[in-house]
Every structure is written in C-alpha cells, then in structure tokens.
Amino acid sequence: MSLKEDINFSLWCDFIERDFLENRFKKLIEEKIIYGATSNPAIFESSISNSVAYGQQLQMLQANEAKTIYEELAITDIKRAAELLNDLYIENQDDGFISIEVDPELCDDTQGTIEEGIRLNSLISSENVMIKVPATNAGYEAMKELTSQGINVNATLIFSPEQAISCAKALDEGIKLSNKDTKAVISIFVSRLDRLCDSELFAKGLKKGQLGVMNATKCYHEIEKFENTNIRTLFASTGVKGDDLEGSYYIDKLLYPNSVNTAPLATIDEWLENGQTEPSEIPSEEVCDKYFKTLADNKIDMKSNYAKLLEDGLAAFKDSFKDLLNKLQKD
C-alpha cells in the first residue's frame, strides 16, 4: 500500500547541504521516498562549516556582515530545494515544502519575527516554502499574522500538548483570515522527551521509549480536533540515539493519517531497510490521558520537563546560529 496515497502520510528529510541536494536528495524525490524537507540553524551550521561546496560563494560574499553571508548561503540552498521539490508541490499542495527558520534570537519578539518571516519569504519567493517559527508566546502571534498574509508556516519546538493547541489555534485563525490555500505544519519533537525522561521513568518501574510517542500522539489528537485540513501534525526529532530502540522506531510508531515525519538521513535509511509500511495503531486520547495520569501518580513533573526542553531547544538553536555567524565573520 502507499502510505502517502492511502492515509496522507509523508516522509520529509531533516537535512540540507549543497552537494546532497544535487545528488541523493534528487534521487529520494524521484523514487517518491521523501515529499519535502526541513532545515534549522543547527543543520545549516553543520553543513556550511563542514562542506567545501560553499567555498566559492563564501569567497564572493566575504566583504559582507556575517548574517548577510549566512542568509545568502541559506537562501541559495532553500531556493534550490524548493525548485527540486516543486513538482511534488504542484502535484499535491500538502507536500513539496522546504522550511527555513527565522533568526532564533527573535523567539520572544513578535514584530521582529513577523518582519523577518515576511522578508525571508519575499527573498526566496517560492510558493512551496514554509517559514519556521518557534512555539513561544511571541511566536503564536507571529504565526497567526504570517499565515493571515498567505505565508506558509512551520511551527517548531513543540513539546507539550498546550503548545500544540496554541499553535493550532493561531494557525487556524490565520489561515481562515488569509482567504488563500495557506498551509502549515506543527512540529512535535519526539525523541528528546525520551532522552530526558527515560532514566527517571525506568527508576520508577515504568517502560522506557514510550513517553515521546504517547506525548506526540496526545498532541496529534489535539491538532486534529481543529479539523483544518491545511494544518498537519509533523513529527520531528525522530532520530534514535543509542541502541535501545530500532533505528526507525519513531517513524514506525507514528505512521498516522494526515501527518508528516521529518527524519535525518540515517533514520530514513533505517526505515527503508527495516521499517514498518502499514499505518500505526493510534492510541486513543483516553489511553494517552491514562498514561499521563500514571506519570502524575509517579510524581513525574511533565510541566518542568516541557519547560526544560523548550528552553534547551531555543538555546541550542541560538548557540548554533551564533557559532555559525562567528565562523563566517572570521572567514
């Protein structure tokens, strides 16, 4: 069966690098394995710092400020990815998207995020681009405003059901105001929750490797309640660290209707080799709620765990962005 055709599930690639775009990326699209791609500051920091493919353009841009250099490099890649994905977008406008994130330093600046989102969208000028906005209080307002202007949005760094609901509400309102076929995804981060909490759960006699999936499923249920087909749940942070779980575990467990899974290349390869290709059984909302009651009964403080993950996620993206700008300035 085709997961894409039967349940509108899409696998996107969580990686961007210039040589990759011209080689493996093309092949993955042609073979209908991936239907989109995402990027973030950490991915660009790694790609630009470690690949020789950027050398010539770096030389041409060296007289500019570091952020200008970064944007020129990133936008070149995003435009190329959008071009390569455009046929998928034309075929089915749920897919064929590539995301670029606003400056992480703007995470608490609503107006700054809106202005940068509009500016980046205009510079790239491709219908199949999504502007990535973190799920902070400032971000929710920015998401609503950007989608109301017909700009596609990828809401990112969502860990809690409360964040998922706030994103869905903002995006639903913005899309309805746009009077356009504006699209959005809500990126639920999965594996980081297990990495943070597994040792505590295990110490209290609870199973490891379950919280991330149950939390993502609870968020999925909340998003689906809005019944807006232009908003899809995107399961992010689906790479496995360590040997406790199968490499494709977070894809296999989250093959849900009307959803996206954005995964690193290694995880995609694991799924192609050994992964599940039938839809996953979706735990009901009642099952999810019962699971979280068990956590509460065992004094697992999910509120503080969610807060720590968001704080750490924002800090990591800011650090990657600063590191990259520092390297570009030195070059």
Distance CA 59, CA 177 (A): 44
**What distance in Å separates the CA atoms of residue 246 and residue 136, rounded to the nearest whole number?**
32
Given the residues 26, 67, 132, 204, the one annotated as active site = 132
On whether the CB atoms of residues 318 and 101 are closer than 8 A, the answer is no
Rounded distance between C-alpha atoms, residue 68 and residue 269, angstroms? 35
Residue 193 vs residues 44, 188, 216: alpha-carbon distances, Å: 24, 10, 10
Residue 180 appears among annotated catalytic residues:
no
Q: Which residues pair with 261 in a beta bridge?
A: 11, 235
Catalytic residues: 132
